[in-house]
Amino acid sequence: MSAGSGKPSPDRRRRLSDADRERCVEAISRAYSDGRIAVDDLQTRTALVYEATSIADLDAIMHDIREPVRASSVSQPLPSGFRRYGRLVMAGVLMVFGLAAIGVSALIDDGSSSRNAGDPAQAPPAPGVDPVDVDAPEIAAEEMGMFTEAGLTRMWATFDDNGIEQVESITVRASWAEALVRADSEQLGLAEIRYEGGLAMPPRWRREYSETEGGFFYLYDVSPGALVRAIDESPEAAGLPHGETTLARVGRSVFDDGDVVLTVRVEDGTDNHSVTWTSDGSQVLRTS
């Protein structure tokens, strides 16, 4: 904070990144696990993190359970051991690329010789076998985006195929997503599952969970179509018609009597807002 003023310094007014929010959510979870905050405080702070827009907002949320919120644009120096290790790895990578380049060059030369010696269109057929022209099927090269109905429907189906039923939250970004689900263990807890490229990674234990935290919802309590509708209509609802969706989240909200809500964050390069919708994506509850 600058001297003689009540305004946060320019660095603290910087717009948040996903990494900033994730660091705070993890710190809040650790504070709850350590017994430093109660369950209702855990819920409230977590919800506020996803509605925060600047580092200064996170400072206010984290002021009494402080784990410094660093600006992600500032790189931290690596210990000397890591730097030495990095140089060794880089040397190994360069060596592999050098050998690969030699191999490719040899293959190209060999291929050129073969083409010069025979038919440039095809290899000689096996004795007694007539060559047949086959129309190979076209392979779809277009990747389904996570903010499309096709991409979300595929993710929902993948989670369903993996037996995921009780969900605490789903956070979706442009190219990947993360679900916090009820852990398959004797101890009540949360497991995290990362989804990317049509694949769901194995569940990884996250933390203990309390029955009073708000509870889980079932995967198909929210449809992919409802989330897509909220994503598509959030730029207009946020007053940023040319904005871009950077994050969408599904989960119960302490601000809405524990109901499942959809929260979409929209940015346009100079401003950003979060829009909270009902679980069917039909009504805006608030913008922030």
Inside any domain, residue 32: yes
- How many domains would you assign to the chain? 2
Q: End of a domain among 47, 62, 77?
A: 62
Q: What mean pLDDT do residues 190-211 have?
A: 91
- Whether 224 and 153 have beta carbons less than 8 Å apart is answered as yes
**For tokens 């290790």, what's the residue?**
85
pLDDT at residue 246, rounded to an integer: 93
Q: What mean pLDDT do residues 35-46 have?
A: 77
SS3 category, 67: coil
- Whether 17 and 58 have beta carbons less than 8 Å apart is answered as no
Q: Tell whether 41 and 164 lie within a shared domain.
A: no
Q: End of a domain among 23, 40, 62?
A: 62
pLDDT at residue 283, rounded to an integer: 96
Average pLDDT value for the chain? 76
Q: Tell whether 37 and 164 lie within a shared domain.
A: no
- Whether 201 and 193 have beta carbons less than 8 Å apart is answered as yes
Tell me the HSE value of 197 on the side-chain side, using a 13 A CA sphere.
2
pLDDT at residue 114, rounded to an integer: 47
pLDDT category of residue 156 using cuts at 50, 70 and 90: very high
pLDDT at residue 18, rounded to an integer: 75
Inside any domain, residue 223: yes
Inside any domain, residue 266: yes
Least confident among 66-75, 118-127, 268-277: 66-75
Parent domain of 35: 10-62
Q: Is the pLDDT of residue 67 over 50?
A: yes
Inside any domain, residue 217: yes
Q: Nearest 5°: CA angle at 179, between 235 and 70? A: 70
pLDDT at residue 134, rounded to an integer: 46
The residue that leads in pLDDT, 247 or 91, is 247
